[in-house]
Structures are given as structure tokens and as C-alpha cells.
Structure 1
Amino acid sequence: MSLTGTPFLLTTIVLVVVALALPLTLWTRIGGPAPVRHAARFSMLLFAQATAISLVFVIVNNANGLFDTWGDLLGTGSHVKAAADLGPDGTGGKSPDSEPKVVQKFSPASDKRMGPGVQETRLKGRISGVEGEVYVWLPPQYDDPAYKDRKFPVVEVLPGFPGSAKAWFGTLNVNTQLKPLMEKGEVAPFVIVAPRTTLLGDTDTGCANVPGKVNADTWLSVDVRKMVTDTFRVDERPDGWAVAGYSAGAHCAARLAVAHPDRYRAGVSLSGYNDPAGEPSSLTARTPELRDANNPLKILERAATPPRVALFVSGAENDGYQGGQALKQAAKPPTTVQVSLIPAGAGGHGTAVWKQQVPDVFRWLTRQIGHKS
């Protein structure tokens, strides 16, 4: 039974009802010695508490897109088939552009909470050794005959950790929020791509390449990117690509953008952090070397040539804002950084805050990569 499916939610509701009914009907009818009666009543109370906690967990999980599968919840899921050392650029010496074109097959997303138009596939990364689901939503203009020769800009969206690839659609409602804005011309017609980022069970990969462990960077910035350009009518140039994330996904988005200006022209960080130590479960927080190599601020500071990339960073005090200011101070042209302060009391570190920012974020992205191609 799916962790996020309706059958499991209904099952937990039924169990809560049963757990409440049991003591109401059996409390005074339990016979036998006192120890037996006490044990039976204690078991009923324990059962009621366990089912109530389970129901609350299911509701919170479904609302926030935290755990997608039982493997994600239990920390037993691994989507890494191999983790070779792919070198500094994460390609292992292979040029993605020289690889044969392979059109990936998609089907309508099985989870209807994601809204209409979302498609899903299971991708086997040709270079990264990662295998996982990828969700894609096409803008309303994609099948319009007037746009038949148009190549569309792409935004790759990343959740926090723990987090589901479905969350930008199911929780932040990015597609249902943006569709009317795209139809009115207020926001560019972006193709939105949401790949799996939980690849190592209960360990956050930091969206990095760590030989012998995972090649998450290559999965996101090479394999997923190549699949999208092979399958859909999208801009292949970095000028047509952006990456956006919230929380741990915000750290990933900023890092990927500044590390790969040859793949992304813009990055969006919502309530993120620079130092991977901001996420204690992160693989990249385990040694000073990994922390330094995967800190977007350090990448900017040591870049011989400032990357041609634009960053949008938002956050509350002590929750992304200071990190954004540090990036802004370190940025040198052509790097640009826009920092937005989230007022105290606006909702804290949560999906409600990030959901409200979606229209403004995509208006900003429209100015960065929303040009015609």
C-alpha cells in the first residue's frame, strides 16, 4: 500500500475510529485477574495513541511532501546503481551533447494531488549511475500551433530534505498557480521539471558528487537535463535553464547554479543555507573538504572567473537571509544576487511561505531566462 495514497489515509482513519470505539465498548467488560484487565486496557490506550499519531503523520506528510515511499520513510531506499569518480565537471570525460538522442517515455502522473498536466517517468541516468522518477509539466502554450517552432525555457525544481519530487506540484501548486499567469503573459511559459533528490535513504546527498557514494550533481545537472532536451522542445542553452529549490533544495539550487554556469543561467534559493553543515544529515557536511567544496559562497569566492549567473535568495533572519547577503557581497560581475527578506511572523520555515513566493519567483525567472528562442 502506497505511503501517500488515499487507501492508506483511509485505513489510518478507520483504525483511529476503531481505536476510539474499543475502550468505549470494552472497558468495563474485560474480565479476568486484575493484571490481565490492566494490561488489556493499557493496550487499548496504546493502540489509540499509536493510530492517532499515525493519522497526524500521514496528514502532515501528504500536506508537505516529506516522504514519498516506505523506503524513504524507513531510510532503506537507495537509487544509486553506481558512483564512479566522474571528475571535476561530473561527466567522466563524456560529452552529453555527443551522446545519442533518446526520447524518454512519459505517462500521466499517478498521484492526482499534483494537479492536471503533470507527467512522470523513471529515468536511468546514463552517466550518474542514479535511477529515479522525474516529473514534468508543460506550459499551456506548448501544444499551441502558434508556438510550434518555439523552444521553451526550463526550470528544474528541488524539494527540501526529507522531501518528495512531487512537492512543488502537490504542495506548492506551482503548476496551478502559474498556468493562469502564463496564459495572461505575466510569466514566461516554462517547462517545469521535478527530479527525485532523495537518493540515499536517510542521508541528504547535498546534490553533490561524492565518488563511491553518489553522483547526485551529475544526475540533476547532466542526466536529467539531457533527458529533457532529448524528449521535449526546450532550449538546450544555459540561457534557457534555471534551478530552484527550498530549504535543503535551496542550498542545492544555489550550488548547482554557481558551479555550472555552462548548464544554468539562474538559481533560486528559498530559505536555504551556504554551509552544508546547515543540514546535519547531509553527506557533504561530514568533512571540512566536502563542506568547502560544496559551499556556494566558497565557490563564488574562489572562482577565477565569476560565473555568468543570476541568483534570487529569500529568507527570514537566520533562515537564509544572511546567507543571501553573504553571496551578494561575494558576487562580482557578471554574477548578480537579489536578496529578499521574509518578515518575521510570515510563517517561518515552511511550505506555506514558499508557496506564496511562487508567482514572484517565476516573474523574476521570466526576466532572467524567459526570452524567446
Structure 2
Amino acid sequence: MGLTSKKVLVLAILFAALLFVATVWLWPRLARRNWRNVSGRVGLLLATQFALIASLGIFANQSFGFYASWADLFGQETDQGIVVDHLANGGTGGPLQVYSTSRVTGVKGSLPQAVGQIQKVEIAGPTSHINSQAYVYLPPEYFQPQYRKRTFPAAVVLTGYPGTAKALVTKLQYPRVAQEEAKHGRMQPMILVMLRPTVAPPRDTECVDIPGGPQTETFFAKDLPTAVQSHYRVGKQSGSWGIIGDSTGGYCALKFAMHHPKVYVAGAGLSPYYHAPIDPTTGDLFQGNALLKNRASLWWLLKHEPAPDTSLLVTSSKVGEHNYKDTLKFIKAVQDTHLTRISSIILDSGGHNFNTWRRELPATLQWISGRLSDR
């Protein structure tokens, strides 16, 4: 049974409940003051507490999508494979391979031309040598005959760390919200490319091109747009691409829009931070390269480099978010550039979690849609 299976959660809760009952039932029998009874009481308490914590951890993981599998949880997911489709003529596919499709859940209907479609894909990066799975949402218009020659704007959507791409579909429900917003004329139909920034698991690369390591920024700034454009009807001119992310993904989204404004003309960071941390999950990101370290700080970019011609959106909460004061400072710093455009969503209260980001999602999609071209 997989880590995200409901059976695992039910069994964990049942096991914790049984241990609790066993503790209550056996406690009088273990009341004597000898080493065996004391050890028994300690063992029951530790086992019960461990079972309760495990149940809460499994529930939190299923709610927020931190880890996709047991291997992911224990840091054993390191292989990077490429799905190769063997075509009838003996050739192979391109840098993007589709290996399953599904309907958009939460929306009435099943036909792609009515509700759109979600495709699970593998993206291979020839320049970065990084391969990553992603979910691609295609709006209903993509399949409708009258739009067969039309290109569509696209937005990359990133999770936090470690995150799972599937959580963007099932927990935050980007496809459903995008379909509803476009249906009611609040945004234009868009293609969404949903994945996690952890493209070299289990390492948190903070979307940096690490010297001698994963070239994460190159993957997102060059390989991914090229792969998607080669397979889907996405606008190829400057102005067709935006990027959205939450938490670590929010930092990455802002950084890519500032580093590569000709690729991403708009970047939205939901609960972002503004510089790359160094901790046990990241390792040494910069290998002594001072310029690389400086450019990973959005504060340094605003102070030392020409302001990029791009649009940024940041979100926070007055109560519940640790980035609130930094977000206000960042807004002021961007305003002082007089070129980079900045917008914000500030909630009265809201934690660093899916519920908060779901509240911000419709307005974020509307904002980014209004800044992208379909050409």
C-alpha cells in the first residue's frame, strides 16, 4: 500500500486506537513497581504516542502532499528516468512524452471539449539533463474545432518543497478553478504545466543552477518551455508564458520572472520568501560562487541589477504568515525600481497552507491571465 493510500491512513488510525485501548486495559496489571511492569508501561506509552504521531503525519501528508511515496519519504527516490514512446515507424518521441490522460475532477462532464483534459507527462531537458514528471491541463477550447488553429498562453505552476505535482491537481485544484474562471469570462483559456521544483529529489535545489550539480534554473527557463512548445499549441512569442508557485515554488516563480523576463513576463509567488536558504536539505548550493549566491537573493537583484521588465504578484496574511513584513518591504523595493510592476494579495489572516492558497488562487489566475498573450 502506498504512502498516500487511504487504507494506510485507516490502518494507522485503527492501530493507534487499539494501542490506546490496550494501554487503558493493561495499565492496572502493570501497576507494580518492578522493572518489568515499569518497562511495560513505558513501552505502551511510547508505542501509543508513536502511533498517534504517525497517524497525524500520514493525515497531514495526504492533506498537503509533502511526499508521494515511501521511497520519497525516506530519501530513496533518486532515479531520473525518461519515458520513450516507440512509434510505428521505429522512431521515438520528442522531449515531452504523454503517458496518461484523465478528466478534470469537480467539473460536470467528461468530454475534453466540454471540461478540458489533464495529461500526465514526462519532460526531458537536453540542456539541463534533468527529467521531470508533470501534469498538463488543457482547457476545453483546446479541443474545440473553432480553436484548432489558435495558440494558448501557458503558466508553469510549482509546488513547495518537497511537495507533489499531483497535489496541485487534487488539493489546490488548479484545473478546476481555471476551467471555472474561464467559463465565466474572468480569465482567458490557458494551458497549465504543473510540477514540483524538486526536480532532483530528494535535494532541495532552490531552483538554482548548482555548480557541478543539478541545473534546475536552466531546466525551467529553457528546457521546459521548449518541450511544451514542441508538443502543444502554445504561443511562442515573448509574452505567452507566466509562472506561479507557493512557498518554495513562490520564491522560484518570482526569481524566474526576474532572471528571465523574456521567458516569463509574469510571476506570482503565493507565500514566498525572497532569498535562497542554506540548510541540510539544500546542501552547498553555490560552491563558493559569490555572484550565484547574490543573484539567488531577490533583495540583491533589486539593489544591484537593472530592474527587469516583468510583472510580479506576492501574497501574504497579516496574521498567520511569517513573510508579512518582508512582503511589505519587497513591494516597496519593487515600487522604487519604477519599471518592474508589483501587485499583492494580503489577507487579514491565513496560515502557510493549502486552505490559504485556495483562497488566493482565483484572483491569482485572473491576474496572470490578464498579463499573458496567446500569440
TM-score by length of 1: 0.82
Other-structure match for 2:97:
104
Counterpart of 1:152 in 2: which secondary structure?
Answer: coil
Residue identity in the other structure for 1:251: Y
In the superposition, relative to structure 1, how do residues 313 and 103 fare at CA in structure 2: closer, same or farther (>3 Å)?
A: closer
- Contact residue 319 and residue 349 of structure 1 kept, 8 A: no
- Contact residue 169 and residue 175 of structure 2 kept, 8 A: yes
- Contact residue 78 and residue 201 of structure 2 kept, 8 A: yes
Counterpart of 1:105 in 2: which secondary structure?
Answer: strand
Deviation of residue 145 (structure 1)?
1.6
In 2: Cα distance, 1:319 partner to 1:280 partner:
24
Alignment of 1:220 onto 2:220:
yes
Alignment of 1:183-222 (within 5 A): 183-201=183-201, 203-222=203-222
Deviation of residue 348 (structure 1)?
3.0
Other-structure match for 1:84:
none
In the superposition, relative to structure 1, how do residues 111 and 142 fare at CA in structure 2: closer, same or farther (>3 Å)?
A: closer
Counterpart among 340, 358, 361 of residue 358 in structure 1? 361
In the superposition, relative to structure 1, how do residues 161 and 103 fare at CA in structure 2: closer, same or farther (>3 Å)?
A: closer
Other-structure match for 1:295:
297
In the superposition, relative to structure 1, how do residues 118 and 26 fare at CA in structure 2: closer, same or farther (>3 Å)?
A: farther
In 2: Cα distance, 1:280 partner to 1:246 partner:
21
Alignment of 1:6-45 (within 5 A): 6-27=6-27, 34-45=34-45
Other-structure match for 2:328:
321
In the superposition, relative to structure 1, how do residues 139 and 112 fare at CA in structure 2: closer, same or farther (>3 Å)?
A: closer
Residue identity in the other structure for 2:341: T
TM-score by length of 2: 0.82
* Residue deviations 1:309-340 (CA, integer Å, cap 9, x gap): 1111222422533223322323x43x322234
In 1: Cα distance, 2:33 partner to 2:311 partner:
73
In the superposition, relative to structure 1, how do residues 5 and 132 fare at CA in structure 2: closer, same or farther (>3 Å)?
A: farther
Deviation of residue 202 (structure 1)?
5.2
* Residue deviations 1:135-174 (CA, integer Å, cap 9, x gap): 1111122212222111111110111223222232222222
Other-structure match for 1:337:
342
Deviation of residue 77 (structure 1)?
3.4
* Residue deviations 1:219-274 (CA, integer Å, cap 9, x gap): 22222222211222221233111011111111100110111122111111122122
- Contact residue 279 and residue 285 of structure 1 kept, 8 A: no
Deviation of residue 56 (structure 1)?
0.6
Say which is worse superposed, 108-117 or 239-248, in terms of deviation: 108-117
In the superposition, relative to structure 1, how do residues 109 and 143 fare at CA in structure 2: closer, same or farther (>3 Å)?
A: closer
In the superposition, relative to structure 1, how do residues 318 and 162 fare at CA in structure 2: closer, same or farther (>3 Å)?
A: farther
In 2: Cα distance, 1:12 partner to 1:231 partner:
43
Q: CA RMSD in A?
A: 3.2
| Runs (5+) with no aligned partner, structure 1 | 82-99
Deviation of residue 42 (structure 1)?
2.5
In 2: Cα distance, 1:135 partner to 1:194 partner:
5
Residue identity in the other structure for 1:249: G
Counterpart of 2:123 in 1: which secondary structure?
Answer: strand
Residue identity in the other structure for 2:332: Q
In 2: Cα distance, 1:200 partner to 1:318 partner:
32
Alignment of 1:1-373 (within 5 A): 1-27=1-27, 34-78=34-78, 101-108=94-101, 117-201=117-201, 203-277=203-277, 281-282=281-282, 284=285, 289-304=291-306, 306-316=307-317, 317-318=324-325, 320-330=327-337, 332-333=338-339, 335-343=340-348, 346-369=349-372, 371-373=373-375
Say which is worse superposed, 230-239 or 295-304, in terms of deviation: 295-304
In 1: Cα distance, 2:40 partner to 2:148 partner:
69
In 2: Cα distance, 1:312 partner to 1:257 partner:
10
In 1: Cα distance, 2:208 partner to 2:95 partner:
25
In 2: Cα distance, 1:71 partner to 1:30 partner:
39
In the superposition, relative to structure 1, how do residues 22 and 66 fare at CA in structure 2: closer, same or farther (>3 Å)?
A: same
Counterpart of 2:325 in 1: which secondary structure?
Answer: coil
Counterpart of 2:182 in 1: which secondary structure?
Answer: helix
Deviation of residue 80 (structure 1)?
6.5
* Residue deviations 1:61-100 (CA, integer Å, cap 9, x gap): 111122223343333433669xxxxxxxxxxxxxxxxxx9
Aligned residues: 349
Residue identity in the other structure for 1:315: S
| Runs (5+) with no aligned partner, structure 2 | 82-92, 111-116, 318-323
In the superposition, relative to structure 1, how do residues 372 and 234 fare at CA in structure 2: closer, same or farther (>3 Å)?
A: closer
- Contact residue 247 and residue 273 of structure 2 kept, 8 A: yes
Deviation of residue 201 (structure 1)?
4.3
